[in-house]
Amino acid sequence: MSKQQKKKTKTGSHKSKRQGRSNHRKSYHRNFHRDPQDLLKKHPEEELELSDYYDGDVSKLVTGLVVSRKGPVYIVRWQSGYMPPPKFWSEEQTPLQLGDELSCIARREGKAAVIGDIVHFLWEQSDLALGLIVAVELRDNALVRADALGRRPQTLAANLDRIWIVSALDPQPKSGLIDRYLVAAHVNHINVGLILNKVDLFMDEEHVDELESFLEPYRSLQVPILLLSATEGDGVDQLNDYLKAERSVFVGHSGVGKTSLLNSLIPGLDEAVTEVSDATGKGQHTTTTSTLYTLEHGGEIIDSPGIRSFGLWDMPPEQLKDHFSEFLEYAEQCYFHNCTHLHEPKCAVLDALDRGEIHIERYENYVRIYDDLLDESTEAY
């Protein structure tokens, strides 16, 4: 098998209502080992199901960056490490060079790898792949959500500089989703930016008002807000200025134009996009796998599948308030030091809300998310 390229399949994903079991939650950091060589020693060759090719020499570990995943196969960009000897390659294979991408499968701790992870692998020929990932480098950060049942963390991408939350007036934007992303990014110390795409469709007066009222709650937060048109190219240069110095990810509902933005940023890229459904007003979940692209002038951007909802992971309800950044300057003046800003007397956040200094929509989303988290944490077994 030679260099692998990734193409999208069109299978949908089904998510049912979340049923939180927060007591079962475990830190996702637990799986990671600092020293992959220790890991190889811990799990002998037989346990890793290695072929005879691997002779127990841990210096044969190779390092790469996960740029995509499809089922059990990870696409890894080879970054450094041991070059396999000529005998490794079969007759029909062309030996890879550093920087090339190859298919890998994973064993043991390697299975925790996600897009953006630095992984350690061994050269290992199999039906599916050329490499076997056995360890994942500790992450700087990760975008994590609760899985559909709310029982496990689902890591969407690792080692990010910025999350671009993409929306459009069509499909209808949901500020609740944006606020959940903002919280998840804040928890993990990842910068954010808001993109309002498809502005070419919303230039008339009526839509401009709608657009402004949608964006208003976010205007006072310290986050960049970009109004763009992926299809017309408006504002794309401004976005490029951010992207070129960072590794970032486009997230949001299906149909908002994440892949279209990628297509406009990378000349010649022609990834599949699909119209928003007339019947439901929603996107059609065209992108099904996250993929990392390297931009010509620097920077890396990950296109991700549109999501229906985003459940916060490992968030005790009483900590939520710390991740609504505009509350923080007032919270110090609340009478109770552990004020939740929900019902307490002498609450400085509620006073600021009354004075219009905190946006009502953001506050209402805070209450909604708080209630959701409370439901999860008190759910009976």
Ligand X SMILES: Nc1nc2c(ncn2[C@@H]2O[C@H](COP(=O)(O)OP(=O)(O)OP(=O)(O)O)[C@@H](O)[C@H]2O)c(=O)[nH]1
Residue closer to ligand X by CB (options 63, 286) is: 286
Give least dist CB 172 to Mg ion, A: 18
Q: Which two tokens stand for residue 36?
A: 């992959």
Contact residues for ligand X, defined by CB under 6 A: 197-198, 200-201, 229-231, 254-260, 273-276, 283-287, 305-306
Rounded to a whole number of angstroms, the minimum distance from the CB of residue 323 to Zn ion is 15
Indicate whether 40 belongs to the interface with Zn ion (CB under 5 A): no
Instruction: Tell me which residue has its CB nearest to ligand X.
Output: 306
CB of 59 to ligand X, least distance (A): 42
Verify binding: residue 353, Zn ion, rule CB under 5 A. Answer: no
* One-letter amino acid for residue 187 of the chain: V
Instruction: From the list Zn ion, Mg ion, ligand X, none, pick the one residue 349 interacts with, judged by a Cβ distance below 5 to 8 Å according to partner type.
Output: Zn ion
Whether residue 274 contacts residue 284, with contact meaning beta carbons closer than 8 Å, is answered with yes
Q: Which of 103, 159, 197, 259 binds Mg ion (CB under 5 A)?
A: 259
Residue 144 carries which side chain, given as an amino acid letter?
V
Residues 6+ apart with CB under 8 A from 278: none
Euclidean distance between CA atoms 213 and 82, whole angstroms: 56
173 CB-contact burial (10 Å; exposed 0-12 / middle 13-18 / buried 19+): buried
C-alpha 302/C-alpha 290 separation (Å) is 6
When asked if residue 341 is in the footprint of Zn ion (CB under 5 A), the reply is yes
Q: Enumerate residues 6+ apart whose C-beta is below 8 A from 307.
A: 177, 251, 252, 253, 254
List the one residue from 4, 22, 155, 287 that touches Mg ion (CB under 5 A): 287
Binding string, 316-345, against Mg ion, x = CB under 5 A? ------------------------------
Q: Does 312 bind Zn ion (CB under 5 A)?
A: no
Q: Residues 167, 353, 318, CA angle at the centre, nearest 5°? A: 75
How many Cα atoms occupy the beta-carbon half-sphere of 221 within 13 Å?
25
Tell me which of Mg ion, ligand X, Zn ion, none is bound by residue 275, counting a contact when its beta carbon lies within the kind-specific cut-off of 5 to 8 angstroms. Answer: ligand X
- Alpha-carbon gap, residue 58 to 74, rounded angstroms: 21
349 touching Zn ion, by CB under 5 A: yes
Q: What residues line the site for Zn ion (CB under 5 A)?
A: 334, 339, 341, 347, 349
Q: What residues line the site for Mg ion (CB under 5 A)?
A: 258-259, 286-287
